[in-house]
């Protein structure tokens, strides 16, 4: 096996491998739970030898030493989706952010808008044909590797071998660092212990479940609201999954035969995603599982592709919604919080699906019942993630507002109806002042 001899020649130490990074380079880091932590730490460890290295990725799990004040001038991070580990740096001006729809991120690399000098990736060991899997996340990493001048791979037997358009041959890799360490995990929200809060999520989950028909295909992320929705789907039949990511919560519904993927109109019989965020059970579930197919985000999130799923239901969250239907999901006022991600990709895809339902879901109130998330207008500086014309359904614990093709007057009344009761008079007064109602 010629590839095996080639592989062995490429195995080196982590210190030697990261010497491929030169001053002025653009470095891509495999994101999410696939973050190649050992390579990243080694890169940062030699940071004082480097200058003006640009580091690009979406959300990663774990440390991000390249965004510290000490590393200024050595590294400059560009967040393609802002995670918790770089959020403070972005808002202090120590790192940059590019707001872009998730399905378009790969185009930054493919069109050389961001040239990739070095890609740091985390892979499964090669199979008998010399192919490594991108494991828990193919996302936009495959596209970055297709354009990278140098690929440095952290190869790990604990990385799942995931099927689909999710492989890279060892001949395309320049340096290999062999490790045997646990994959980074993102702990799940867990059971909500506050009964009042739990009741809110149950109500939201029940309202959304009422909108989901048998044979629907679902997109949802992780967190209390998706978990609540999943808990109400036990009596549904032949559901499918086409989503940018999923987590542990889908496993019980697959085992019970609720999620079968058999009635999907695109990739029937397959769960289609780009990455997972979660813990070891979901990593074990996707390992060599023929029901799971990972494809790059520029395919999975493409609204044209999403729309080919009949009865596509897209469930996305928000930080605030104003009374005309503008959705803010990526900032708190002018403070940048996350990014566009795949929200608009799937909202627009579901809206073009036959029988599709795009849904924005959020609890109506936060901060010990002191702040309504249905607001008269978005705060100064707040970003509009999803515009009025794209919003179909908004769900809170108080019900479902159906907005699509409605007048402003009708939209305002629908949204006030699902706002916290103690804020409804205030919202109506503002709406009358603006002559909305």
Domains of the chain: 2-178 (3.40.1080.10), 195-433 (3.40.1080.20)
**Residue 200 backbone phi and psi in degrees, to 5:** -60, -50
Instruction: Tell me the whole-structure pTM to 2 decimals.
Output: 0.95
379-401 burial, b for 16+ CB within 10 Å, e for fewer?
eeebbebbebebbbbbbbbbebb
Of 244, 293, 397, 414, the active-site residue reads: 244
- List the Cα angle 329/331/332 in 5-degree steps: 110
Sign of CA pseudo-dihedral 368, 374, 375, 376: negative
Within 10 Å of residue 258's Cβ, how many Cβ atoms? 18
Tokens 């998330």 map to which residue?
373
The residues, any chain, with a CB within 8 Å of residue 125's CB and separated by 6 or more, are: 132, 155, 156, 157, 159
Would you call 204 exposed, middle or buried from its count of C-beta atoms within 10 A (0-12, 13-18, 19+)? buried
pLDDT value for 288: 98
Q: How far is residue 341's CA from residue 420's CA, in Å, rounded to a whole number? A: 28
* Segment 185-233, tens digit of pLDDT: 998 765 665 788 889 999 999 999 999 999 999 999 888 899 899 999 9
Query: Could you say which residues of the chain have pLDDT below 70?
Result: 189-193
pLDDT value for 190: 59
Tokens 């809170």 map to which residue?
396
Sign of CA pseudo-dihedral 365, 367, 373, 376: positive
Closest-CA residue to 375 (of 386, 384, 389, 365): 365
Closest-CA residue to 153 (of 189, 201, 118): 118
Q: How far is residue 49's CA from residue 62's CA, in Å, rounded to a whole number? A: 23
Active site residue 244: yes
The residues, any chain, with a CB within 8 Å of residue 256's CB and separated by 6 or more, are: 234
Sign of CA pseudo-dihedral 217, 273, 383, 202: positive
Across the chain, how many H-helices and E-strands are there? Answer: 15, 26
Q: How far is residue 165's CA from residue 296's CA, in Å, rounded to a whole number? A: 7
310-337 burial, b for 16+ CB within 10 Å, e for fewer?
bbbbbbbbbbbbbbbbbbbbbbbeeebb
Q: How far is residue 95's CA from residue 84's CA, in Å, rounded to a whole number? A: 13
Closest-CA residue to 239 (of 166, 298, 165, 315): 315
Tokens of 103: 């399905």
């Amino acid at each position: 096996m010629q590839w095996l001899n080639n592989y062995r020649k490429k195995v080196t130490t982590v210190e030697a491998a990261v010497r491929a990074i030169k001053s002025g380079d653009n470095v891509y880091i495999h994101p999410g739970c696939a973050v190649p932590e050992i390579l990243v730490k080694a890169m940062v460890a030699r940071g004082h030898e480097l200058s003006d290295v640009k580091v690009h990725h979406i959300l990663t799990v774990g440390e991000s030493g390249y965004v510290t004040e000490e590393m200024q001038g050595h590294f400059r991070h560009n967040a393609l989706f802002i995670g918790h580990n770089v959020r403070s740096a972005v808002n202090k001006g120590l790192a940059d952010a590019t707001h872009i729809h998730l399905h378009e991120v790969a185009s930054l690399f493919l069109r050389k808008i961001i040239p990739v000098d070095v890609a740091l990736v985390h892979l499964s060991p090669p199979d008998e044909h010399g192919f490594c899997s991108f494991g828990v996340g193919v996302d936009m990493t495959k596209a970055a590797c297709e354009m990278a001048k140098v690929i440095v791979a952290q190869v790990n037997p604990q990385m799942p071998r995931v099927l689909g358009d999710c492989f890279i041959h060892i001949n395309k890799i320049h340096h290999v660092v062999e490790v045997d360490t646990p994959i980074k995990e993102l702990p799940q929200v867990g059971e909500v212990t506050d009964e009042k809060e739990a009741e809110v999520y149950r109500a939201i989950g029940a309202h959304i479940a009422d909108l989901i028909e048998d044979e629907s295909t679902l997109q949802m992320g992780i967190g209390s609201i998706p978990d609540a929705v999943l808990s109400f789907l036990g009596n549904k039949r032949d559901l499918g999954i086409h989503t940018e990511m999923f987590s542990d919560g889908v496993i019980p519904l697959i085992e019970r035969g609720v999620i079968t993927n058999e009635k999907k109109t695109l990739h029937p019989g397959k769960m289609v995603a780009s990455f997972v965020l979660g813990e070891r059970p979901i990593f074990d579930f996707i390992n060599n599982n023929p029901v799971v197919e990972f494809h790059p985000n520029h395919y999975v999130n493409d609204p044209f592709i999403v729309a080919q799923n009949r009865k596509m239901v897209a469930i996305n969250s928000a930080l605030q919604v104003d009374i005309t239907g503008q959705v803010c999901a990526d900032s708190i006022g002018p403070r940048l919080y996350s990014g566009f991600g795949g929200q608009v990709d799937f909202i627009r895809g579901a809206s073009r699906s036959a029988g599709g339902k795009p849904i924005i879901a959020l609890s109506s109130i936060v901060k010990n019942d002191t702040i309504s998330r249905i607001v008269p207008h978005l705060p100064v500086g707040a970003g509009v993630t999803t515009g009025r014309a794209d919003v179909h359904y908004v769900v809170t614990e108080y019900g479902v507002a159906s907005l699509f093709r409605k007048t402003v007057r009708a939209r305002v009344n629908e949204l006030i109806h699902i706002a916290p009761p103690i804020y409804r008079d205030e919202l109506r007064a503002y709406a009358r002042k603006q002559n909305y109602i």
